[in-house]
Structure 1
Amino acid sequence: MEILLTAATSFEIQPTIDYLNRNGGSVSVSPLITGVGSLATSYALTRQIGSSRPAVVIQAGIAGCLTDKKAGEVLVVSEEVLADLGVWEDERFKSLFDMKLADPNGFPFTNGRLVNPHTSLLAQTGLERVRAMTVNEITTDPQRIRWHQQNTSAVVESMEGGPLHYVCLQTGVPFLQLRAVSNLIGVRDKTKWNIPFAITRLNEQLIGLLKKLEKERS
């Protein structure tokens, strides 16, 4: 089994990379650091999948939270909303689908969302499944936060999840997205964030998942 393990930054998955370097195993895991944001992620994933098609892509990273999840909680994303692909108008957001510029059920979208159809993979994580939203500009404005909370039902926010879902759905490669909560979204006060704990918990879950996949392979 060839697994592509991807993250926006190396520090988010470094403990897992260190573990793999020490232990190896029967499952081949290739790390890919895409860079931050939708453009970098889309390019890096498309290029890598085109040159060496993996059996599974696992994206892992930290995330801001729109609900009451605690720092360090690790979740698996079952569906993505592209939360800023459109226009803010009349104090609300209008998506490409609202503006009739795209079909909300045109592949790879389902009701305007990018849904992970690989339910058995999702179940293998043993994690709570949530909806996430992807943005190109980190959300800090209280009005926009309230709008997203009331209208997207997203639990976490990232800048790379949507491209993972889009590219993998388009190429037919099974995928997973794991996110560890590091902070509540809002004003960027990093004294209230807990990035080290989020990374620790993320990598504990990630290593456990890789061990499970290796056991099933053997």
Structure 2
Amino acid sequence: MRILIVAATEFEVKDLISDFGFLISDSDQPNTYRTPHPTPRTALITGAGMVATSFALGKHLATNQYDLAINLGIAGSFDRSIALGDVVEIDEDSLAELGAEDDEAFITIDKLGFGESRFKSTYALPIQFNLRKTNAITVNTVHGNEASIYKLGSRINAQIESMEGAAFFYACRQMGVPSMQIRAVSNYVEKRNSDAWQIGLAIKNLNTFAAEFLDWERGAKNR
């Protein structure tokens, strides 16, 4: 199986890349490392945000074919029942800001008739991994203000927040590539409080899951 790992930053997947010997690619630099494994695996580092993600994926998928693309990254959680460091599967992601304001109301791009804002995973994670399925929003500005968090919550019941997920799903769907998104929670969505963040734990758990999945995939291929 040809697998593409997509991450906003190399920092989030550095250990995975090193351990599995991925070919590294991004939107500006040439490939820098070739995998020693017989099954090609590539890590695409897009840069942060939905614009960078969409551009990098569109450019890369125009000339490369994959059986599966996996978006890996850390994220914030609105849902306090999800512990910091937990790894979750995003099965639906939305472009929360795409639309128009009508005084105090928000009109989604769907209702405006100019596009769509909700996108779903198109790959079924094997049941033995037993990750919690969650919904997410993708934003340009991560929330850190109590008033804006409350306002968002009044119209969207989101659990996870990232800056890339929905754009990743959209690009993969447009190019016909099966996709899944896996996130590890590094912080809660609240007034900015970096002292409470658990970035190291989230990255460790994220890479542990990804390594287990890749080992399983390689074993399944050989069975």
TM-score, L = length of structure 2: 0.86
The amino acid of 1:16's aligned partner reads L
Note the C-alpha offset of 1:144. Answer: 2.4
Please say which of residues 159-168 and 147-156 is displaced more in the overlay.
147-156
Answer yes or no: is the 8 Å Cα contact 2:121–2:181 preserved in 1: no
Q: Cα gap change, 1:65/1:122 in structure 2, threshold over 3 Å: closer, same or farther?
A: farther
Equivalent residues in 2 for 1:20-169, closer than 5 Å: 20-21=20-21, 24-68=36-80, 69-98=82-111, 100-102=112-114, 109=116, 112-118=117-123, 120-121=124-125, 123=127, 125-169=129-173
Which residue is equivalent to 1:19?
19
The answer to whether the 8 A contact 2:72-2:183 is kept is yes
* CA distance 1:24–1:130, shift in 2 (3 Å): farther
Which deviates more from structure 2 when the two are superposed, residues 85-94 or residues 27-36?
A: 85-94
Opposite residue 134 of structure 2, the aligned amino acid is V
Q: Shift of the alpha carbon at 1:151?
A: 2.8
Shift of 1:125: 4.2
Q: Aligned equivalents of 1:88 and 1:191: distance in 2?
A: 34
Gapped regions of structure 2 (runs ≥ 5): 23-34
| 1:76–1:122 contact (8 Å) kept in structure 2 | no
Alpha-carbon distance between aligned partners in 1 of 2:109 and 2:188, rounded to the nearest angstrom: 27
Higher relative contact order (CA 8 A, sep 6+): 1
- What does residue 218 of structure 2 align with? 214
Mapped partners of 1:129, 1:150: distance in 2: 22
SS at match of 1:121: coil
Q: Give yes or no for contact 2:54–2:171 (8 Å, CA) kept in 1.
A: yes
Instruction: Give percent identity, aligned residues only.
Output: 33
Aligned 8 A contact 1:183 1:192 in 2: yes
Q: Helix, strand or coil: the match of 2:134?
A: strand
Q: Secondary structure at the match of 2:62?
A: helix
Q: Which amino acid aligns with 2:122?
A: P
Which segments of 5 or more consecutive residues in structure 1 lack a partner in the other structure? 104-108
Shift of the 91–142 alpha-carbon distance from structure 1 to 2, 3 Å rule, reads farther
Cα distance change, pair 90–44 in 1 and its aligned pair in 2 (3 A)? same
Alpha carbons of structure 1 residues 141 and 92: separation in structure 2 relative to 1, 3 Å: farther
Aligned counterparts of 1:163 and 1:215: Cα–Cα separation in 2: 31
Report how many aligned residue pairs link the two structures: 209
CA–CA separation in structure 2 for the residues paired with 1:48 and 1:163: 14
**RMSD between aligned alpha carbons?**
2.0
Verify the 8 A CA contact 2:93 2:119 in the aligned structure 1. Answer: yes
